[in-house]
Amino acid sequence: MLLGIIKENAPGEFRVSMTPETVKKLVKTGLQVLVEQDAGIAAGYPNSDYEAAGATLADTATILKCDLVTRVRKPTPNEIEKMKRGAVLISFLEPYRQDGTLEKLAEVGVSAFAMEAIPRTSRAQSMDALSSQANIAGYRAVLEAAAQYPRFFPVMMTSAGSAKAVQVAILGAGVAGLQAIATARRLGARVEAFDVRPETREQIESLGAKFMDLQLGEEGTGHGGYAKALSEDAQQRQQAALAERLKKMDVVISTANIPGRRAPVLITEDAVKGMRAGSVIIDLAAENGGNCPLTESGKVVKKYGVTLVGHTNYPALVPGDSSSFYGKNIANLLGLMWKAAESGTAHQLKIDLTDDILEASLVTHGGEVRFGKPKSTHAVATASQPTAAAAQ
């Protein structure tokens, strides 16, 4: 069984889907690993480390023809056409975008697993790439804020005078938000945070931040650790309350997100106008419409004296660790289908659709798009026979 690791070619993407450490473990299970020349260079993993781990270097065309292909970013239609019928692909695929990628993968007969579709359950935690990458994004977002902010973060006493600690607001205390709180605290910031899920209060306080009580009269706990949308009234109350609170903040990191929906607006134009000159807003939801309508996706802009940062790929700015975590997430997912039936026998690839994690994340199979469709279960398909019947 040939596993191929692609060299990412999207602009600004410095991650790689598998590191030498993960490759070494997979090679021991009998997988033959091919890695595209220089695939890990930008993340700090040279070709020689992959070779030492047991991988062989190959060109793009050879990697695309492998039985199993791993990558960080979704393939282009041209790349998909070059893939092998019946191959398995594991990657972020942005399945919500409906941009034709899934249809193309199905047409070519690729069984694709979308890392975004891994359920947020305890058993799937070690495969949850959205969380592993959001954690890094929360950390890197604070470093970005510190670099953009024209003053110190911590209290600073010098012979030339002293500086006060920066006042940071974190909006949304999910994976990225909690890591942002922890990182800002480590840098000496005074931190207040808010989330619509009341259970986050304890988590926020345990990290040494103050819970920002916006008194919305409504909570937003949804399913599976995610939020649900607030009513129109509560949204307006939140925007008005934040416009007041943010007048006293120097840095805002906003991470509010509701799965499958456009990001909620938390920081209105009027709120930005009311903020101190030199303040910084890091809008982690920039790619999904932004928590502030003034954010420009992929850009750093200054409006009303406030710097708005709309970077869309913070994990790629910490590529060594984000690749390492992502590779482990993939290897753990692969472990659910690449295994020995009995101890002492060779590993085989089997996609067992009775496994809830495989069932949820397999977005194309047997020539069909499964994402967003009612799921069929209780079937076992092998990668070498990905017929429509196998998935029924």
Ligand X SMILES: NC(=O)c1ccc[n+]([C@@H]2O[C@H](COP(=O)([O-])OP(=O)(O)OC[C@H]3O[C@@H](n4cnc5c(N)ncnc54)[C@H](O)[C@@H]3O)[C@@H](O)[C@H]2O)c1
d(CA 323, CA 29): 21
Residue 148 token pair:
């953009």
Pairing assessment for the beta strands 56-58 and 347-352 based on DSSP bridges: unpaired
To 5 degrees, how large is the angle CA 225–CA 230–CA 234? 135
121 belongs to the binding site for ligand X (CB under 6 A): no
The answer to whether the beta carbons of residues 37 and 7 sit under 8 Å apart is yes
254 vs 279 by CB, closer to ligand X: 254
96 vs 304 by CB, closer to ligand X: 96
Q: Which of 17, 91, 111, 131 is catalytic?
A: 131
d(CA 373, CA 371): 5
Residue 274 token pair:
């009311």
Helix (H) or strand (E) run with residue 142 in it: helix 129-148
Q: Which stretch binds ligand X (CB under 6 A): 6-14, 99-107, 170-178, 319-327?
A: 170-178
Among 92, 139, 194, 338, binds ligand X (CB under 6 A): 194
Q: State the binding string over 276-295 for ligand X (x if CB under 6 A, else -).
A: --------xxx-x-------
Decide: helix, strand or coil at residue 62: helix
| Residue bearing tokens 């659709």 | 353
Decide: helix, strand or coil at residue 272: helix
Among 64, 112, 258, 281, binds ligand X (CB under 6 A): 258
CB of 216 to ligand X, least distance (A): 9
d(CA 14, CA 20): 16
Among 17, 19, 203, 255, binds ligand X (CB under 6 A): 255
153 belongs to the binding site for ligand X (CB under 6 A): no
212 belongs to the binding site for ligand X (CB under 6 A): no
Q: Which of 77, 5, 97 is nearest to 363 (CA)?
A: 97
d(CA 363, CA 382): 16
d(CA 381, CA 57): 30
Q: Which of 96, 120, 185, 186 is catalytic?
A: 120
267 belongs to the binding site for ligand X (CB under 6 A): no
Among 27, 41, 130, 379, binds ligand X (CB under 6 A): 130
Please indicate whether residue 352 is annotated as part of the active site.
Answer: no
How many residues line the site for ligand X (CB under 6 A)?
Answer: 36
325 vs 338 by CB, closer to ligand X: 325
Q: State the binding string over 294-333 for ligand X (x if CB under 6 A, else -).
A: -----------------xxxxx------------------
Among 220, 274, 327, 366, binds ligand X (CB under 6 A): 220
Q: Which stretch binds ligand X (CB under 6 A): 53-61, 110-118, 220-228, 301-309?
A: 220-228
d(CA 78, CA 51): 28
**Distance, first Cα to last Cα, the chain:** 25
134 belongs to the binding site for ligand X (CB under 6 A): yes
Please indicate whether residue 190 is annotated as part of the active site.
Answer: no
Rg for the chain, CA atoms, rounded: 23
Please indicate whether residue 321 is annotated as part of the active site.
Answer: no
Residue type at position 13: E
Please indicate whether residue 131 is annotated as part of the active site.
Answer: yes
Among 71, 190, 197, 370, binds ligand X (CB under 6 A): 197
Count of other CB atoms within 10 angstroms of residue 212: 20
266 belongs to the binding site for ligand X (CB under 6 A): yes
Residues that are catalytic? 120, 125, 128, 131, 226
Which residues of this protein are in contact with ligand X, per CB under 6 A? 130, 133-134, 137, 171-177, 194-197, 220, 226-227, 230, 238, 255-258, 263-264, 266, 284-286, 288, 311-315
